[in-house]
Amino acid sequence: MTELKNDLFLRACLRQDVERTPVWMMRQAGRYLPEYRATRAKAGGFLDLCRSPELCSEVTLQPIDILGADAAILFSDILVVPEAMGMKLTFGVGEGPKFPDPVTCRADVEKLPVLTDPSDGLGYVLDAVATIRRDLNGRVPLIGFAGSPWTLATYMVEGGGSKNFSKVKAMMFNEPETMHLLLGKLADSVAAYLNGQIAHGAQAVQIFDTWGGILTTRDYGEFSLAYMQRIVGQLTREHEGRRVPVILYTKGGMGWLEAIADTGCDVVGLDWSIDIDQAKARIGDRVALQGNMDPTMLYAKPGRIREEVRDILARFGHGNGHVFNLGHGITPDVPKEHAIEFFRAVREESVRYHQAAS
């Protein structure tokens, strides 16, 4: 087992002392990087890239080399899970993901298997995890991830992205038992999938609940949070002699921070709709916080980006338990140089907040 040279991210996730605030960025391997676009073109397409462990490793490591990120995140897509459950998945050029044969009724849900063995259907992702760990050679930790059951269900029922989520909400309201059956199968499949990633080398895992925020408080608790908690309860929490931190991120869910922290996760991901000092006052004594710069700030001039980094660091203040990140993923047309300045600013400006604690 290669010794980890930079474990700032893992320590921050567990609210341990760090010399500076670690930083990584959602979608840090992506279209804003010319290097990524070249690798994707070499692969022939997005799903082809996801299915090539060597090319997955190449794009996963690009932000480590270019940005100096303190963590790598597996390059994949959340929708590989429903695909492995038997649903046809397509990515058209310039289009989002599509399921041509969406889930429409209970009979469709009953046909879906639970993925108890992730190597059956998702072996290529596990191979990618192992390949990335090998290629990282201990430089930084590797984060694995999956979509939340509710978020996966929205795509499976809608057949793709949606503006009003009418089909999935209609199923939730009219056939709650069907929706619960689907979410339960997804939760158990995701738990097995994440445990497979951990077994193959992921040193932390994040659950992306991209669409939890479209729900009411009541429905979020019943149809989203309960199933993320079901996953957390099944996860491997110790591996290779270290704790494996679990990060939960619900976009639009900042009203429910206390409930998210109660799931047993180690880190709560924040979007940009809350000031981090408010989040820290509410749950910072229980979990670490990840976030939360507005991704569109990366369109600003480098000096303004640095100002924003300073403001977020000052709001969090002295002490540990902060992983700097964006409040959502970086957008494709952000200038690469702005992303580099963002990372540089966090590295340089955060030291002062840890000197007293170190």
Would residue 282 show up in a list of annotated catalytic residues for this protein?
Answer: no
CA trace torsion 71, 74, 75, 81 (10° rounding): -150
**Structural contact between residues 241 and 256, judged by C-beta atoms closer than 8 angstroms:** no
Given the residues 51, 77, 242, 282, select the one marked as catalytic. 77
Given the residues 11, 15, 20, 27, select the one marked as catalytic. 27
Residue 261, C-beta contacts closer than 8 angstroms, at least 6 positions apart: 268, 283, 286, 287
Given the residues 11, 15, 20, 40, select the one marked as catalytic. 40
Given the residues 32, 36, 155, 193, select the one marked as catalytic. 155
- Helix, strand, coil percentages in the chain from 3-state DSSP, rounded to 5: 50, 10, 40
Would residue 124 show up in a list of annotated catalytic residues for this protein?
Answer: no
From CA 157, how far away is CA 164, in angstroms rounded? Answer: 13
Element at 248 (helix H, strand E): strand 246-250
**Structural contact between residues 71 and 7, judged by C-beta atoms closer than 8 angstroms:** no
Would residue 27 show up in a list of annotated catalytic residues for this protein?
Answer: yes
Residue type present at position 204: A
Nearest to 219 by CA among 185, 275, 259, 161: 259
For every residue of 5-26, DSSP letters joined together read S--HHHHHHTT---SS--B--T
Nearest to 249 by CA among 159, 323, 165: 323
322-326: strand order across its sheet? 72-73, 142-147, 204-209, 246-250, 267-269, 288-293, 322-326
> Residue 328 has which token pair?
């959502």
**Structural contact between residues 356 and 318, judged by C-beta atoms closer than 8 angstroms:** yes
From CA 205, how far away is CA 266, in angstroms rounded? Answer: 10
Would residue 155 show up in a list of annotated catalytic residues for this protein?
Answer: yes
**Structural contact between residues 292 and 272, judged by C-beta atoms closer than 8 angstroms:** yes
Given the residues 31, 286, 315, 344, select the one marked as catalytic. 31
**Structural contact between residues 301 and 335, judged by C-beta atoms closer than 8 angstroms:** no
| Count of positions (residues) in the chain | 358
Residues labelled catalytic: 27, 31, 40, 77, 155
